[in-house]
Amino acid sequence: MVGGKVGAAFGNLGTAAAAPLHRVDTGDISPGRPLQTSPNSSVNYCRTISRRLAKGLPSEMRQQVTVDVHIILRRDRDVLLCLRQGGYASGQYCLPSGHLDDGETVVDCAVREVREEVGVTIKPAALQPASVIHHLSPEGRPRVGFFFATTVWEGEPYNAEPDKCAKISWVPMDVLPGNTVPYAAAGLAHYRGGVGIGLHGWP
């Protein structure tokens, strides 16, 4: 089980709502605060809609999404970005990030990815929910990104994957490089603006 802040934030998401739909209250999902599972919470609202829609659709029509995780390492007003090289988003800056492995939680993934990419260790309790984004790629592939933020880790960040990353850089979070991956930039903007759940790339 995950303890600390993340446990408080995500530990009760399994209690899906069966009650009638209520309006979205974004105050329930402010970054850095526990996600509530009260009847009028955005989390239950979204889960209830998804389940009701899914029940009415053949399985081949249900949306298949990729789940990924992004980690916002903060040092004062700066955020750590990785300059990708080769493959996905080559020549663009992104956050330490990656896809879930089989059987892995989003928290496990965040801890693993930040260790693999920038060589630091983060305790699950040090992670704070930053934002969740339902993203549609330019190729039309949907995904859901979980963004976590932290100011506490063990070790000094370094480029631990030089085959995938040209360099890492601390940059002001409010003045991102022009070649930042739009999806990552949206996650940071939502985090700074207090947007708990958002959309990106959809028409």
Q: pLDDT, tens digit, for every residue of 117-146?
A: 999 999 999 999 999 999 999 999 999 999
C-alpha–C-alpha distance, residues 13 and 8, integer Å: 10
Q: Whole-angstrom Cα distance, residue 143 to residue 162?
A: 26
**Segment of 37-46, 80-89, 148-157 carrying the highest mean pLDDT:** 148-157
pTM of the model: 0.73
Structure tokens at 44: 């239950």
The CATH homologous superfamily of the domain defined by 66-200: Nucleoside Triphosphate Pyrophosphohydrolase (3.90.79.10)
Average pLDDT estimate for 108-119: 98
> Looking at residue 5, what is its pLDDT?
42
Cα distance between residue 191 and residue 65, in whole Å: 22
- Please report which confidence band the pLDDT of residue 44 belongs to, taking 50, 70 and 90 as the band edges: low
| The pLDDT of residue 40 | 47
CA 13 to CA 43: how far, in whole Å? Answer: 8
- Whole-angstrom distance, CA of residue 117 vs CA of residue 121: 11
pLDDT tens digits for range 48-60:
555 655 566 566 7
Amino acid 44 reads N
CA distances from 169 to 2, 39, 69, 141, 159 (A): 30, 42, 19, 29, 10
Q: Where are the domains of the chain?
A: 4-61, 66-200
Q: For the residues of 64-85, what is the DSSP string, one character each?
A: P-EEEEEEEEEETTEEEEEEE-
pLDDT over threshold 70, residue 197: yes
